[in-house]
Structures are given as structure tokens and as C-alpha cells.
Amino acid sequence: MTQDVLASGGLGFLESAGPTLVWLIVVSFVFLECAVILGLFLPGDSLLITAGIGLAGHASGVSHVWGLSAGAFLAAIVGNQVGYVIGKRTGHRLVARKNGKYINVENLEKVNRLLERHGFWAVLVARWIPWVRTLCPMVAGAGNMNHRRYTVASTLGALIWAPVLLLLGFYFGSWLDRVPWLFPTVLTLMIVSIVLGTAFGIYQYRKEMRRPAVTTEVHDIDA
């Protein structure tokens, strides 16, 4: 039923290119959110939920959503390790932006204090806080947090983040299938919000990066 609704709602492209396109976008976004500053400006959580809803519209959606959950999980782990290495190579000094909205000294210091006080648990919980999720790996690396402890925490965090949101979206989409006219409406609105959110995020990123650079010292993280 859902496939007919997708086609009738003008979303037939999701049926033909859907799974492959969804995989590419989701894995890329998850990696970027966990690895580099650009990830601060990407709508990661809403993308994962939307991807789950979209996959609910495919006959092979169940296998795809479980496979993508594993793929997003691995992308988050790799992204976290890349972010950690980037921070490690800075040698206790991270670059912020003067009067920046997100990439500012205050936010970096907040993440540093959070990791100092709570260590393992801060890395685990950071997965659910968008801007902390991106800054945490770099601050952990710059602060020489124990790599093994960081890896275990970030891996567990990845496990209870990407797969959970994808599956929530998928089962919500399956429920929407009971109200055929509602499925394409909700999916269309969410896709539009993702596209607009990504465009606005890239604009904000470019605006932020044009601000003067300032450096901040990161304290050792022994927790």
C-alpha cells in the first residue's frame, strides 16, 4: 500500500532510488556530524528519523533499515575516531571563532569541563546533544582523554543513537501506512525540512568560518 501512496504522492523517486540514496546521505551526514566542524550545522537527528520513515515505504524496508542502522553505527564510530585524531593533533589548542554562535571559546570550554567532570559518561550522553556531539571528539583528543575509555564510550553512544532514531522513524512510518494520505504528507514535509535545514546549516557554517579565529587551551581530561 505504501508504495502506491509514494507514487501517487509524487514521491516515486524514493521507490526507484530510495534505499541507495538514503544510505549515501545518512552515512555521509552521520560521519560528518561526528568528525568535523561542519557537522555542527547539519540536521542529523531529524535526518535519521526521516530516513527511517522513508524506508518504511519500501517492500524491502525492514532489511534496509537494519542494514542502514549498522552502517550508520559504523560511520559514527569512524567519525568519532577521526574527530579524536584531529583534536589530538592540535596539541591542547583548538581554534574557535570570535563571537561565533557555535564554534566559540565558551562552548569549547563547556565541553572541556563536561569531559573533565564526567569523562566516560559525558562522551556517552554527548551523542544526544547535537552541538556537543560534534565538539566532543575533538576536545577529548586535544585533552588527551584515555583513548580506550573514549572509544568504548563513543561506541556505546553510537549504538544507542543512530540505530535507535532510524528504527523509531521506521516504525513510525509503518504506523503512518495505516493512514495512506498521511504518509506522503509527513514524509514530504520532513524531506523539505531536511533540505532547507541543510542549506541553512551550510550558510551558517560559511558565515561562522568568516569570523576571526581565536584559540583556546584545552585542559587534560583524566576522568
Mean pLDDT of the chain: 86
**CA nearest to 127, candidates 105, 153, 102, 152:** 153
Given this model, what pLDDT does residue 209 score?
92
Q: How confident is the model at residue 187 (pLDDT cuts 50, 70, 90)?
A: confident
> 204 near 101, Cβ under 8 Å?
yes
**CA nearest to 84, candidates 41, 141, 155:** 141
Residues 6+ apart with CB under 8 A from 171: 52, 56
Query: Which has the higher per-residue pLDDT, 113 or 10?
Result: 113
* Number of helices (H), then strands (E), in the chain: 10, 2
Residue 214 has pLDDT above 50, yes or no: yes
Residues, the chain: 223
Residue 188 has pLDDT above 90, yes or no: no
Where are the strands (E) in 28-126, listed by range? 93-97
Can you tell me which residue has the cell 542529523?
Answer: 44
Mean pLDDT of 149-162: 94
Residue 10 has pLDDT above 70, yes or no: no
Mean pLDDT of 207-219: 91
Mean pLDDT of 51-69: 85
Nine-digit cell string for 131: 552541538
Given this model, what pLDDT does residue 174 score?
86
pLDDT above 90 covers what percent of the chain? Answer: 56
Amino acid making up residue 219: H
Residues 6+ apart with CB under 8 A from 196: none
**CA nearest to 196, candidates 73, 56, 50, 61:** 50
Q: Number of C-alpha atoms within 13 angstroms, CB side, residue 167? A: 12
Q: Report how far residue 141's alpha carbon sits from residue 35's, in angstroms, rounded to the nearest whole number.
A: 12
Residue 2 has pLDDT above 60, yes or no: no
DSSP element (H, E) containing 215: strand 213-217
Report the range of poorest mean pLDDT among 18-32, 105-119, 158-172.
18-32
